[in-house]
Amino acid sequence: MFPEHRPRRLRTTPAMRRLVSETTLRPRQLILPMFVAEGADQPRPIASMPGVVQHTRETLRKAAVDAVRAGVGGLMLFGIPAKRDAVGSAGCDENGILNVALRDLRAELGDDTVLMADTCLDEFTDHGHCGVLDEHGGVDNDATLKVYAEMAVAQAEAGAHMLGPSGMMDGQVGAIRSALDTAGHVDTSILAYSAKYASAFYGPFREAVDSQLKGDRKTYQQEPGNAREALREIELDVSEGADAIMVKPALSYLDVLRAAAEVSPVPVAAYNISGEYSMVEAAAANGWLDRERTILEVLRSIRRAGADMILTYWATEASAWLD
């Protein structure tokens, strides 16, 4: 043994541990995903995500103000429409719930936060897929790009600063970038969901947005065992003009996140998704885990793996715990 080698010296007091801590976790690095439901007259609890609700327009506004006051870096908005159809029309409609809510929040918050929108069709289609279908029932990549382009322009016009294409269609970043530029929205940025896996951990989210999906998303989302493919997706998205990229989910993909952070020339986000949230909440509710410590460890681990920013349903609450 070499008793002179004593790493524990750096763990002796809280002040010493604070001095040598490697990973920062700040409110500005957290992005709060929020749900708003058309026609809701009061917030609707999401049973599988205790503490998260589908907001009304009014409660969304209040919760958004609270989040920004707590110091979060941004808000990511998802809309739940009253009516769905095969092509997700409500996503492009300027009076669709997501676009109306973006307008509400931009009017309320101006440039005080980074307002983001989910640019994807799954909340708006009656079949629940992230794109439009071809005659065989498969998701039609190129037809979907046209709808994304229209949706992106509508979201930029409604006041989004940053768009989050999450549908994993090939060429989606390029299609959205050129539609935004043509419409004069050259300053609207794109946070590309570049490496998004076909994950079982999205389960609770499907309830959160009343998803109509039967089947799965394996023809467009990535196979959980593949890592190399993620780097290819990232490279393509950056070449198409992504301003930031994302790895999603976070916890089962920390290796992918680390690899992404090592090569990405743009900021890297990770989405601490619904199932990751619900697991901790369920265990904490049973007294099996210390809730606050677990949440902070989860978020710090995602930062340590290389995320510059983290989408998390705990963003507002965790911000209050950070110094």
217 known ligand binder = yes
8: three-class secondary structure by DSSP = helix
Active-site positions read 196, 248
- DSSP state for residue 28 in the 8-state scheme: G
Closest approach, Cβ 290 to ligand PBG, in A, equals 23
Q: Which residue number, 109 or 120, has a Cβ lying nearer to ligand PBG?
A: 120
Contact in structure between 141 and 97 (CB atoms under 8 Å): no
CA–CA separation, 262 and 222 (whole Å): 20
Closest approach, Cβ 35 to ligand PBG, in A, equals 10
Question: CA nearest 132: which of 142, 24, 208, 61?
Answer: 142
123 known ligand binder = no
Q: Which residue number, 118 or 240, has a Cβ lying nearer to ligand PBG?
A: 118
Question: In the beta sheet, which residues pair with residue 53?
Answer: 45
Closest approach, Cβ 251 to ligand PBG, in A, equals 12
Closest approach, Cβ 14 to ligand PBG, in A, equals 34
| Token duo for residue 30 | 């957290």
274 known ligand binder = yes
Q: Which residue number, 77 or 179, has a Cβ lying nearer to ligand PBG?
A: 77
Q: Which residue number, 61 or 217, has a Cβ lying nearer to ligand PBG?
A: 217
CA–CA separation, 183 and 110 (whole Å): 21
Contact in structure between 188 and 162 (CB atoms under 8 Å): yes
108 known ligand binder = no
243: three-class secondary structure by DSSP = coil
Distances (CA, A) of 51 to 170, 277, 310, 314: 35, 10, 19, 9
233 known ligand binder = yes
- Strand ranges inside 66-112, DSSP E: 74-80
Alpha carbon 239 to its chain centroid, in Å, reads 21
Binding site for ligand PBG (CB under 6 A): 118, 120, 122, 130, 166, 202, 205, 217, 273-274
Q: From the annotation, which residues make up the binding site?
A: 206, 217, 233, 274, 313
Q: From the annotation, which residues make up the binding site for Mg(2+)?
A: 233
Q: From the annotation, which residues make up the binding site for 5-aminolevulinate?
A: 206, 217, 274, 313
